[in-house]
Amino acid sequence: MNALPATDLPATTARPRWRPFIALGLVIVVADQLLKQWISHNFTVGAPVSLLGGDLIRINVTHNQGALFGLFQGSAVLFGLASIGVIGIIVWYEARAGSALLVTIALGLLIGGALGNLVDRLRLGFVVDFVDAGLGGWRFYTFNVADAAISCSIVLLILLAVLPARITRTA
């Protein structure tokens, strides 16, 4: 096998940013799992506790056996299997497009969130959700750190798709 000399390689070879991708993913998984563990030991399922003296943000522990926004309840195994496929796609995409720092950040958030919820599904058969935001009777969906990371990632990926000129490799 003949290897090309280093001088024949393109000067601008873009490489994925594996270290920040993996580090951010791990930070999200660890923070998500530690907070879920603490919440599960200190709060009761279905008994909302107001934070900051009002009901804008509450701790309300739920066991979500479905997907985002509580859709498709009772499908934890199906979503666990789908998560494994999605995680593979995220890693593949990082390998192809991860030379842009903002893409790496978005994908690191996404894989951390996917892994955080996958750990719950495999370990518990459901996802522990606990952040309940809203006003009075109007409540947003109950979520967790992994869900927040996934949501931020999706917003960032949409912005990057709408503003592709912002996807540049930075040192």
Question: Which active-site residues does the annotation give?
Answer: 129, 147
What is each CA distance from 140 to 47, 57, 70, 124, in whole angstroms? 17, 10, 11, 24
For 78, how many CA atoms within 13 A lie in the half-sphere containing its CB? Answer: 8
Question: Quick one: tokens of 52?
Answer: 């900051």
Please state the φ and ψ torsions of residue 149, each to the nearest 5 degrees.
-65, -45
The single-letter DSSP state of residue 142 is P
List, in sequence order, every beta strand (DSSP E) within 2-71.
Answer: 49-50, 57-64
Q: ∠134-146-167 over CA atoms, to 5°? A: 100
62 strand-pairing partners: 129
